[in-house]
Chains A and B, each alone.
Chain A
């Protein structure tokens, strides 16, 4: 009960802080706009297939997330508040608080990218809404859970900027393959059952990464 209150307090603090400072939001917004503009220039009016569109969708989400999600821990280290948080909160509260904040941020990012893609690419038409919604929710959970523990690790390092995508890519590759498959199926109008295997992979991924991160976090967070 007390842990939940502490987690809620950390999420609320991070949301309020983000709304005031816009560290992550600005980075995400600029990255989405820049990458989508480059893709539009490269395509020159061509209509890519649903598989390519799904791939490009998650490429934008992945790299935008890499530029924004690390802020959860990096900003605490840079401002010297990480020790304050370490003093007042138990490690599990910090981990789940940061994880929930990153889930919210990733869901907002995916919603934003979906809107931009729908406007910018006429071929990006979601035929199976249920498949798409489950894909983006599970994809966001997986992306946020992996990004959170990697952010906690790299926040202690000196070469944060380069380490983050380098460490993230091998951990996220399974997730990215599954979400790209499932998104292509949602764009092609396939039924829920046809994406079931991808969903099972995504659910397993989220559970394994979250449980592993929870066990590892205590060691990452202290010292």
Chain B
């Protein structure tokens, strides 16, 4: 597992005249976890998008380091795993196809069949792996997002509303996953749930 560091320096984000994020500064390395908390509309998801390179900040910058060397986001892309309500999967493909397609596009090597079976079983979708995603419930889609985000053993894991749409069993699996990630992965969780925020060692509150 590569040592990764994210440094956010004075990040601000405006949408037209509305300021969503203002002067967010922190540094986080592998093995550390950060909870991003705040009310609805406070900019938690926006911050996750900025950190994942899906949005450009209006002010400030995000710097990434991989094994001590500065890298741009494109160099880091294969090592990011993101679970979020705004990331959708391809409805016309099966669960297994979604995983393999996105791994190929991301240039990740395909995991061994046994590893694929293990992660599908962990998230309770092994029996449904050959069903098209169109037939999945929202909770099953959320489980599949975890499989897609974690199958390539990412060094950076970002979870936006990690237990959204999940039942009790799903929440337990996510909790176990986060606990197992904490030893060598950089983990960021955006949530307004106190229980989920308590999974992380550090915390930042957003809201202008």
Point out residues on A near B: beta carbons under 8 Å: 2, 5-6, 9-10, 12-13, 16-17, 20-21, 79-81, 83-90, 93, 222-223
Q: From residue B13, how far is it (CB to closest CB) to chain A in Å? A: 10
Q: Are B54 and A13 in contact (CB under 8 A)?
A: no
Which chain A residue lies CB-closest to B158? A87
A contacts with B: majority SS: helix
Which chain A residue lies CB-closest to B149? A87
Which chain B residue lies CB-closest to A88? B106
Contact of B101 among A5, A9, A80, A87 (CB under 8 A): A9
B169 at the interface (CB under 8 A from A): no
Contact of B106 among A20, A81, A83, A89 (CB under 8 A): A89
Point out residues on B near A: beta carbons under 8 Å: 52-56, 74, 77, 80, 82, 86-93, 101-102, 104-107
Q: Are B88 and A85 in contact (CB under 8 A)?
A: no
Q: From residue B135, how far is it (CB to closest CB) to chain A in Å? A: 14
Q: From residue A93, how far is it (CB to closest CB) to chain B in Å? A: 7
Contacts of A12 in B (CB 8 A): 101, 104
Q: Which 4 A-B pairs have the closest CB atoms?
A: A80-B88, A9-B104, A88-B106, A9-B105
Q: How far is B90's CA from A17's CA once the two chains are assembled, in angstroms?
A: 9
Q: How far is B56's CA from A16's CA once the two chains are assembled, in angstroms?
A: 32
Given contacts A80-B86, A80-B87, 10 further A-B contacts (CB under 8 A): A5-B107, A9-B104, A81-B90, A83-B54, A83-B86, A83-B87, A83-B88, A84-B88, A85-B105, A88-B77
Q: Are B92 and A86 in contact (CB under 8 A)?
A: no
Contacts of A81 in B (CB 8 A): 88-90
Residue of B53, B77, B80 with most chain A CB atoms under a 10 A cut-off: B77
Q: Are A88 and B55 in contact (CB under 8 A)?
A: no
Q: How far is B77's CA from A95's CA once the two chains are assembled, in angstroms?
A: 17
Q: Are A222 and B56 in contact (CB under 8 A)?
A: yes
Contacts of B106 in A (CB 8 A): 6, 88-89
Q: How far is B93's CA from A21's CA once the two chains are assembled, in angstroms?
A: 10
Contacts of B74 in A (CB 8 A): 90
Which chain B residue lies CB-closest to A89? B105
Which chain B residue lies CB-closest to A91? B74
Q: How far is B102's CA from A84's CA once the two chains are assembled, in angstroms?
A: 9
Which chain B residue lies CB-closest to A1? B107
Q: Are A6 and B105 in contact (CB under 8 A)?
A: yes
Q: How far is B86's CA from A92's CA once the two chains are assembled, in angstroms?
A: 23
Q: Are B107 and A2 in contact (CB under 8 A)?
A: yes
Which chain A residue lies CB-closest to B107? A2
Q: From residue B53, how far is it (CB to closest CB) to chain A in Å? A: 8
Q: How far is B77's CA from A2's CA once the two chains are assembled, in angstroms?
A: 13
Contacts of A93 in B (CB 8 A): 105
Q: Are A17 and B92 in contact (CB under 8 A)?
A: yes
Q: Are B105 and A88 in contact (CB under 8 A)?
A: yes
Q: How far is B93's CA from A85's CA once the two chains are assembled, in angstroms?
A: 15
